[in-house]
Amino acid sequence: VNPAYTLANSKEFVAALKSVKLSVAFSMKEDETSTETTVAAAAPHYLESWGDVAMTRRNYSVMQPTIRPLFDTKQFQEALLAWTGNITSYYDFLKGFAATSLAGKSWNQAVHDGFVVTETSALTANVSNANTAATTLAQAKSSNFDLVLYSKVGMGDGQQANNPWLQEFPDPITRVSWDNYVTISKADAEKGGFKNWNVANGGLNGSYATIKVGNATLENVPVIIQPGQAKGTLGLAFGYGKKLGLKEEMQVGVNAYALYANLNSNQSATITVADGEHEFACVQLQKTLMGRGDIVKETTLEVFNTKDAKEWNPIPMVSLDHKPTAATEVDLWDSFDRSTGHHFNLSIDLNACTGCGACVIACHAENNVPVVGKSEVRRSRDMHWLRIDRYYSSENTFAGDIELKEGTSGLMNSIDTFSGMEDPSENPQVAFQPVMCQHCNHAPCETVCPVAATSHGREGQNHMAYNRCVGTRYCANNCPYKVRRFNWFLYNKNSEFDYHMNDDLGRMVLNPDVNVRSRGVMEKCSMCIQMTQAVKLKAKREGRLVGKDEFQTACSAACTSGAMKFGDVNDETSDVAKLLEDERMYHLLEHIGTKPNVFYHVKVRNDK
């Protein structure tokens, strides 16, 4: 809890706090509240602590620590028990208290499951005053904007603003990292004089705004024009604008809590243009597919149920000896027998992907991917091995984009049509597509490397020999999927890490099973080969075969929606082998003939 940061009237709170003779703040790090109290007590991280939570009346959850406390810290609950003269440990206290909420389960079972569902009836909400509230809101919206304060998927409420993984994580919708900003509809932006524009180095710039809510004012708030946003609304994320307990590079954004009056996330606000321009760290400037339906394939539920797969998932055709031939029947190189041993594939279902980004963070943590900072991200030097592309439709639907593209002929008509298709519709459809190294069986990167630093393994992975790489970057230039990353700097050699990462804390950040790359070396998704090797070695030690769907990658293990499935396609019982035969399956840019080991499933949209 950090009320000096999260309260709209934080100045009044701090003034009142100073008038108290004794005040104690339990905090994991220095923050706005702990610096104003009489005593600042070091508290453990939530992953080092026991706890419980009841999100609803029917669900009781138990939180257990994942690691012993790294420092000599004391949990707030432990101190509270000691102050009240109770010598019981908080663990025993929690265990005794939880006994009344376990609904017949044992304590060990509740800890194992993480939650208990009780039989308590759910509360019903009284909505008798809904009409009055709606009238009040309509009156406010008639003259001002409706400001919605929200929490970003990555940053949340700001408690983990010191985590650079979350700072560098691009927002799934805006694709901007290292910032919060006010979002506004295109119509309101044009009316109010707000702009976003691309600059020569590939960066995104935008206007500043001044936002007023009652007597509170936020100045120099960056503006992002958001397709699909309702007219008359503004959006601003919590969790930014912190100054204490953070490095200077991480003190980014504005504090939206200043507008959080009466703890209400919906406020009536006014917005005006301010002087200056803001430099965003945006990882995707292309907003639409411009009718290229072979990248993100989708169809409607009606078409999916009534027509043959060739209608909604056609196989691309190429020219062979001046004859149209299915791309799947053409090989650039001699094929190999891959039916023996393991052959790994990754399935991505576009129906299930929500763009949450859990896979991106999991990949970052598992594979020692460096954080490069805002200025480097702005130069398109981000190091994420896995990205989630977000596309809007330029018409009201993606199907409308394809129809418009196919109905255009002639050079001048095409130029006008495609220029217009660069901008999203005012109310577009949205699609997410995770993209990583496709581990092509006929990989273009392998044939251009002059030192054989990248090569193909017998089990389907595209390997990188880091100590062979001389940094020509030919592979990145020849990759049609643009998934290779180059180390422009020696990111691990800084004051935070001891030599060879022998510092007791610094080495805990890194995965010892994954090599830390150096400057001048190319890197990319390895399909978590260290995890597949660990599974094979464990099965070998135990004298057994690898179990069904036992293989995992960091991204597939972290995906909560089940969009990513990893496994051995030579095991006919595995999920990924069955998904490979599904009629919705397709490969990205299949007409190029790279024969990827990552495949996608057509998105089926219910438009009724």
Mean pLDDT of the chain: 87
Token pair in block for residue 94: 């929690």
Residue 123 has pLDDT above 90, yes or no: no
> pLDDT at position 578, please?
93
Q: 298-389+431-605 architecture in CATH? A: 2-Layer Sandwich (3.30)
Token pair in block for residue 531: 């995890």
State the pairing for strand pair 298-300/603-605: parallel
Domain ranges in the chain? 3-117, 135-282, 298-389+431-605
pLDDT tens column, 246-274: 777 778 889 999 998 887 888 889 999 99
State the pairing for strand pair 344-349/598-601: parallel
Contact 202, 382 (CB under 8 A): no
Contact 399, 442 (CB under 8 A): no
CATH of domain 135-282: 2.40.40.20
Q: CA 414, CA 191: separation in Å to the nearest integer?
A: 30
Contact 271, 192 (CB under 8 A): yes
DSSP secondary structure code for residue 29 in this structure: S
Q: Containing H/E element for 213? A: strand 204-213
pTM: 0.87
**In 10 A of CB 430, how many CB atoms?**
15
Question: What are residue 458's phi and psi, to 5 degrees?
Answer: -70, -20
Q: CA 316, CA 310: separation in Å to the nearest integer?
A: 10
Q: CA 423, CA 473: separation in Å to the nearest integer?
A: 32
Token pair in block for residue 334: 């001699």
Three-point CA angle 236, 238, 240, nearest 5°: 105
pLDDT tens column, 278-326: 999 999 988 888 878 789 998 889 889 999 988 888 888 888 888 888 8
pLDDT bracket for residue 598 (50, 70, 90)? very high
Token pair in block for residue 383: 């190091």
**In 10 A of CB 574, how many CB atoms?**
22
Token pair in block for residue 509: 């950040």
DSSP secondary structure code for residue 156 in this structure: B
Could you tell me what percent of the chain has a pLDDT over 90?
A: 46
AA letter at 570: N
Q: CA 505, CA 496: separation in Å to the nearest integer?
A: 9
pLDDT tens column, 367-395: 999 999 899 999 999 999 999 999 988 87
Element counts in the chain: helices (H) and strands (E): 19, 27
Fold of 3-117: Rossmann fold (3.40.50)
